[in-house]
Amino acid sequence: MRLNNLSPNKGAKHRRKRLGKGESSGLGKTSGRGNKGHKARSGGGVRPGFEGGQMPLARRLPKKGFNNAQFTTRYAIVNVGDLQEKFEGGLVDEQALRAAGLVSGAWDGVKILGDGEISRKLTVQVDKISASAREKIVAAGGEVVEIKKAAPVAKLPRKAKKQA
């Protein structure tokens, strides 16, 4: 078996429809588009989500309620085992983690989790840390400092218009 002997399975490849090649071809004249109307025109067709004049799903569903997702705090996750691999000792903070390639992108903070083992003496300065990660770092002779950031200011709703 060689690359030049490979071929697709029988029936896997189809000829494309050749439209507008005479009436006897079966796809001449109107080329399978029927007679006149919106869908017969070039560029014709309904928009995505159009349900034939029926009230669309997006308008049938209720729109009230509140979602707290915009106020969540998203943390970049780093495991203790990753610290063991990337750092020899000294201070480990967000800048050091970014320089080591363990954190990238936009995050509200960094959280250390306890997956893996550590035997190096590190001073870890992060926003959050799990109890197991704290135990492992302290047991290895290191130190943990949690940074307390100011709470993000919630977006205030618009003021209601005054009625005259």
pLDDT band at 149 (very low <50, low <70, confident <90, very high): confident
Residue 139, helix vs strand vs coil: helix
Q: How confident is the model at residue 7 (pLDDT cuts 50, 70, 90)?
A: very high
Q: What is the pLDDT of residue 66?
A: 84
Tell me the CATH number of domain 72-146, given options 3.40.50.1110, 2.40.50.140, 3.100.10.10, 3.40.50.300. Answer: 3.100.10.10
Each residue's pLDDT tens digit, 129-141: 999 999 999 999 9
With 0-12 CB in 10 A as exposed, 13-18 as middle and 19+ as buried, what is 49? Answer: exposed
Tell me if 154 sits within 8 A of 71, measured CB to CB.
yes
Do 129 and 99 form a contact (C-beta atoms < 8 A)?
A: no
The ranges assigned to domains in the chain are 72-146
Q: How far apart are CA 83 and CA 102, in angstroms?
A: 9
Give the H/E segment covering residue 85.
helix 80-86
Amino acid at 88: E
- d(Cα 164, Cα 155) in Å, to the nearest integer? 27
Query: How do residues 22-80 score in pLDDT, each as one tens digit?
Result: 999 989 999 999 999 999 999 999 999 999 999 999 999 988 888 888 788 899 999 99
CA dist., res. 5 & res. 65, Å (int): 61
Q: Find the radius of gyration of the CA atoms of the chain.
A: 31
Question: At a CB cut-off of 8 Å and minimum separation 6, what does 104 contact?
Answer: 98
Specify the pTM.
0.54
Confidence of residue 153 (pLDDT cuts 50, 70, 90): low
